[in-house]
């Protein structure tokens, strides 16, 4: 008799809800557990009361509960060595070790790694002394991009418009320690011009399979105005990725990164996410992430037709070579983020939300990002509250579905961008 698989998904945002949703469609999967999870996933996954900050305890729990595969969402757990602990216990885990996760957890490591392996990226310098960093900015023409070395929840990057802003960024990171230890070292790099593209590849450390290309929308306001956020929406696929560009990205970026990190003794298992700038000279790496992108994943996974469990299981167990090419649903998907009033600045939580009785319609899926269920009522519980995903034959259809669904959801102060996918719509 066939025994169904048990999967554990670590994380609690819209990305993890999308992972749970896609894994639940696999005929192989009998049960999904999640920690900490969110209540929006409750129909699909069982919330577990074991803290992922204690990898030993979580690994013991996974053993006792015969978990076949653990999928890790957020980078913070990987940077602390969750995958190492699971591997040491002989547990299959989809996500890189602490050493491989340095591609995201240390910008200095990532930049020097790219230089060693000739992976195209912006020219850069590393500083661990404030005076030297400031002197460098004083003596160069700019423009400058200033990056804190360590993890700073996506906020440790300043694209400076002028010398004053660049100096203020270095001061905030290295002197005022706005990001704590993460800012003790900084990278100062040249500013790249072009359009941004998100490419994710599932890898077992040798082989890789690219997921559909996507585009994120980082700025809070329409027309890409206002401060950066964790991402206000995404769509997939994008025609920005031409077949020729796809081949270049595979050959010049993904293959050398995956082979390079393995050659350095830290094979990478999981999703390697390349945040790229498509410049007139070709693709350049802005950053690597060592996990699924958020909110790109919400737009990409609703289109996957291949069995996600089989894919991630093959990668976690070094069998990706045997895995067929990925299959995707025809058409497009668009994810629009509904955020709390004030986000990405201060916002309040606990505001009641209406319109969430069903999460799935004919051509829409809703993923919970920052919500809570209080006495049977959904309330806001974070900056990014909901991810409303529309599907359609074209991007315009997908957007139409998403925006129509959004009109039926209400909470006080809610805001969202009305122009997700504008670059792609303009291209057509």
Say whether residue 287 binds ligand AMP (CB under 6 A): yes
CB of 131 to ligand GLY, least distance (A): 32
The answer to whether 333 touches 299, Cβ cutoff 8 Å, is yes
Secondary structure (H, E, C), 320-351: HHHCCCCCECCCEEEEEEEECCCCCCCCCCCC
- In the three-class reduction of DSSP (H, G, I as helix; E, B as strand; rest coil), residue 229 is classed as coil
CB of 74 to ligand GLY, least distance (A): 10
Say whether residue 391 binds ligand AMP (CB under 6 A): no
CB of 105 to ligand GLY, least distance (A): 13
Say whether residue 145 binds ligand AMP (CB under 6 A): yes
Q: How far apart are CA 416 and CA 398, in angstroms?
A: 16
Residue 231 touches which of ligand AMP, ligand GLY, none (CB < 5 to 8 A by kind)? Answer: ligand GLY
Residue 209-248 contact track with ligand GLY, rule CB under 6 A, x = bound? -------x--------------x-----------------
User: What would the two tokens of residue 323 be?
Assistant: 């895995």
Give the phi and the psi of residue 140 in degrees, each rounded to 5.
-120, 155
Nearer to ligand GLY, 144 or 292 (CB): 292
Say whether residue 296 binds ligand GLY (CB under 6 A): yes
Say whether residue 200 binds ligand AMP (CB under 6 A): no
In 297-408 the beta strands, taken as DSSP E runs, fall at: 332-339, 364-368, 371-374, 377-380, 384-392
Residue 168-197 contact track with ligand AMP, rule CB under 6 A, x = bound? ---------------------x-xx---x-
* Other CB atoms within 10 Å distance of the CB of residue 377: 11
Tell me the longest C-alpha to C-alpha distance in the chain: 71
Say whether residue 276 binds ligand AMP (CB under 6 A): no
Say whether residue 58 binds ligand AMP (CB under 6 A): no
CB of 96 to ligand AMP, least distance (A): 18
Nearer to ligand GLY, 298 or 381 (CB): 298
Residue 16 touches which of ligand GLY, ligand AMP, none (CB < 5 to 8 A by kind)? Answer: none
CB of 183 to ligand AMP, least distance (A): 14
Nearer to ligand GLY, 218 or 310 (CB): 218
Which residue of 13, 293, 382, 390 would you call a contact of ligand GLY, by CB under 6 A?
A: 293
Identify how many contiguous H helices and E strands the chain contains and give both numbers: 14, 22
Residue 192 touches which of ligand GLY, ligand AMP, none (CB < 5 to 8 A by kind)? Answer: ligand AMP
Dihedral of alpha carbons 233, 237, 243, 246, sign? positive
Nearer to ligand AMP, 119 or 314 (CB): 119
The answer to whether 309 touches 27, Cβ cutoff 8 Å, is no
Say whether residue 301 binds ligand AMP (CB under 6 A): no
- Residues near 95 by beta carbon (within 8 Å), at least 6 away in sequence: 70, 71, 72, 77, 78, 82, 83, 101, 269, 270, 290, 291
Q: How far apart are CA 395 and CA 390, in angstroms?
A: 9
Give the footprint of ligand AMP on residues 341-380 (CB under 6 A): none
User: Cα dist. 67→9, 43, 137 in Å?
Assistant: 10, 19, 52
CB of 164 to ligand GLY, least distance (A): 28
Q: What is the DSSP letter of 211?
A: P
Nearer to ligand GLY, 67 or 334 (CB): 334
The answer to whether 238 touches 215, Cβ cutoff 8 Å, is yes
Nearer to ligand GLY, 154 or 331 (CB): 154
Nearer to ligand GLY, 29 or 78 (CB): 78
Say whether residue 289 binds ligand GLY (CB under 6 A): yes
Residue 338 touches which of ligand GLY, ligand AMP, none (CB < 5 to 8 A by kind)? Answer: none
- Residues near 384 by beta carbon (within 8 Å), at least 6 away in sequence: 13, 14, 229, 230, 231, 295, 337, 338, 339, 340, 343, 369, 370
Question: Looking at 6-14, 123-131, 159-167, 288-296, which segment touches ligand GLY (CB under 6 A)?
Answer: 288-296
- Residues near 43 by beta carbon (within 8 Å), at least 6 away in sequence: 359
Contacts to ligand AMP by CB under 6 A: 122, 145, 154, 157, 159, 189, 191-192, 196, 218, 275, 286-287
């Amino acid at each position: 008799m066939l025994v169904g698989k048990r999967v554990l998904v670590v994380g609690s945002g819209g990305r993890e809800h999308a992972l749970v949703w896609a894994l639940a469609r696999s005929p192989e999967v009998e049960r999904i557990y999640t920690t900490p999870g969110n209540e929006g996933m409750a129909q699909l996954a069982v919330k577990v009361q074991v803290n992922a900050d204690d990898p030993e305890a979580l690994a013991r729990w996974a053993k006792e509960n015969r978990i076949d595969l653990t999928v890790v969402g957020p980078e913070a757990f990987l940077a602390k060595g969750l995958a190492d602990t699971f591997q040491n216990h002989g547990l299959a885990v989809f996500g890189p070790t602490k050493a491989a996760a340095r591609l995201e957890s240390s910008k200095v490591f990532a930049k020097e790694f790219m230089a060693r392996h000739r992976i195209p990226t912006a020219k850069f310098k590393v500083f661990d002394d404030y005076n030297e960093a400031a002197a460098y900015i004083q003596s160069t023409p700019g423009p400058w991009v200033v990056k804190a070395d360590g993890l700073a929840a996506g906020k440790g990057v300043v694209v400076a418009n002028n010398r004053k802003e660049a100096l203020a960024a270095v001061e905030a990171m290295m002197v005022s320690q706005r990001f704590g230890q993460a800012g003790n070292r900084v990278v100062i790099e040249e500013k790249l011009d072009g359009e941004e593209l998100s490419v994710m590849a599932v890898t077992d450390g040798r082989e890789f399979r690219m997921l559909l290309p996507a585009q994120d929308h980082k700025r809070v306001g329409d027309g890409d105005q206002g401060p950066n956020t964790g991402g206000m929406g995404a769509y997939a696929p994008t025609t920005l990725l031409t077949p020729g560009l796809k081949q270049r990205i595979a050959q010049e970026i993904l293959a050398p990164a995956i082979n390079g990190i393995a050659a350095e003794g830290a094979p990478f298992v999981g999703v390697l996410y390349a945040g790229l700038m498509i410049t007139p000279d070709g693709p350049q790496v802005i950053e690597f992430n060592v996990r699924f992108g958020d909110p790109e994943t919400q737009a990409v996974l609703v289109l996957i037709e291949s069995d996600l469990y089989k894919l991630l299981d093959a990668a976690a167990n070094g069998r990706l070579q045997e895995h067929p090419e990925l299959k995707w649903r025809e058409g497009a998907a668009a994810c629009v983020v509904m955020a709390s009033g004030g986000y990405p600045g201060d916002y309040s939580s606990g505001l009641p939300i209406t319109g969430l009785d069903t999460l799935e319609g004919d051509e829409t899926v809703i993923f919970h990002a920052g919500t809570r269920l209080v006495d049977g009522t959904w309330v806001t519980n974070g900056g990014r509250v909901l991810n409303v995903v529309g599907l359609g034959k074209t991007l315009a259809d997908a957007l139409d579905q998403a925006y129509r669904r959004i009109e039926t959801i209400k909470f006080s102060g809610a805001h969202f961008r009305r122009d997700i996918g504008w670059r792609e719509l303009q291209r057509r």
